[in-house]
Amino acid sequence: MIRVIIIEDDASTGALLAQLVKRLWPTASVILESDAVSGIEQWHQHGADLILLDWGLPGMSGMEALKQIKKTDMKTKCVMISGHAERDVILAARAHQVDAFIVKPFNAKQVMVRLAEIMELSRALHDSKIDGFDSLNDFIRFQMTQGTLGLPIDPELISTIESLRNANGSERVRILRQCQFHPALVFRLLSLANSSQYIKGISSVENFEAAIQLVGLDGFINLAVEMSLHQGSHLQQDFLRTRQMKYQRDGLILAEIVTKLAADLAENVSFSLNAARSACVLYRVGELSLLQVMQRGLILGMNLMKSPAIQP
């Protein structure tokens, strides 16, 4: 089993890198740390086959961590990830035997290819097989309790989100307005914005707009790409897509009702329409997550029709 340590202080980038590693090596052990000291401690205690290092880290820099690792362990592969593309920065990393240098913002698929080359592995991304499950219900139970859960999201929407970096002001506003009513994006963005790496104190982030301001555009794009890499996130069967549309429509209908009711609560300063809309969009997020699990089962060879609990 491959052991990977990711040292990245940006939560969205760290989550994306972890998912890329899992796509390459589904059984890999992945440790995510937000500072170099903790990452080095993990390396000292348990070792690693691959370490992904951010250049700019709080406290000890990624370069200093690279020096420490390569000074005593040339077998561990180290990949530096940085927003700096200057020649002197890259040369400095190479001087300390870095195995690869990746510049942010990066292309997820290109990073996967590069990591596979570094580890000298060329396995297919979807070569996992269902094994050890007596029934579909057992498989779903395992995925919901111990697996990595995702949510359905269309590849076309991901491409649109990736175009945000080059979009003009009005186009950017249009795309973000579209995104604020997508359950998968709202759920993951609010989860990230309310994590310990972003939120401080006791206040919580309750709506899409506030979460975007906190996480930032690059963070949001990374999050969307990471979501699309979860196996089963792209629903391919018509009956699964039909259910997805129904569940998402249920949330939108509820949001419309809340919007109409908001006029009666105009003087109630404690009522947040944007937060209420976000809650409505997430109304059926549990069922949507189950659709992703079902699609994953199909990809891995499971026959959904064997279960009387799930019918198209």
The C-alpha torsion from 113 through 114 and 119 to 125, rounded to 10°, is -20
* Peptide bond before residue 105 is cis, with ω within 30 degrees of 0: yes
pLDDT in the model for residue 130: 46
Alpha helices in 180-284 (DSSP H): 183-193, 208-215, 217-228, 238-262, 273-281
pLDDT in the model for residue 229: 80
End-to-end CA distance of the chain: 37
pLDDT in the model for residue 186: 94
The amino acid present at 128, given as its one-letter code, is S
pLDDT in the model for residue 110: 83
pLDDT in the model for residue 304: 60
**Residues in a beta bridge with 93:** none
pLDDT in the model for residue 44: 92
Domain extents in the chain: 3-118, 130-312
| Residue 120: how many other CB atoms lie within 10 Å | 7
Q: How many CA atoms lie within 13 A of 224 on its CB side?
A: 29
Alpha carbons 46 and 38: distance in angstroms, whole number: 12
pLDDT in the model for residue 123: 42
Per-residue pLDDT of the chain (312 residues; tens, 9 = 90+): 789 999 999 888 898 899 899 888 888 899 999 999 999 999 999 999 999 999 888 889 999 999 999 888 888 999 999 887 777 778 888 888 888 888 888 888 888 888 888 887 534 333 444 455 666 677 777 777 766 678 999 989 999 999 998 999 899 999 999 999 999 999 999 988 888 777 776 678 899 999 999 889 988 998 888 888 887 899 988 999 999 999 999 999 999 998 888 777 666 556 788 888 899 999 999 999 999 988 888 877 776 655 544 544
Listed residue (114, 113, 71) closest to 95, CA to CA: 71
Cβ pair 288, 244 in contact under 8 A: yes
Listed residue (180, 177, 174) closest to 207, CA to CA: 180
Q: Which CATH class is domain 3-118?
A: alpha beta
- List, in order, residues 6 or more apart from 25 with CB less than 8 Å away: 2, 4, 121, 123
pLDDT in the model for residue 40: 93
Per-residue HEC secondary structure of 271-309 comes to CCHHHHHHHHHCCCHHHHHHHHHHHHHHHCCCCHHHCCC
Cβ pair 231, 22 in contact under 8 A: no
Helices and strands counted in the chain (H then E): 14, 5
pLDDT in the model for residue 198: 79
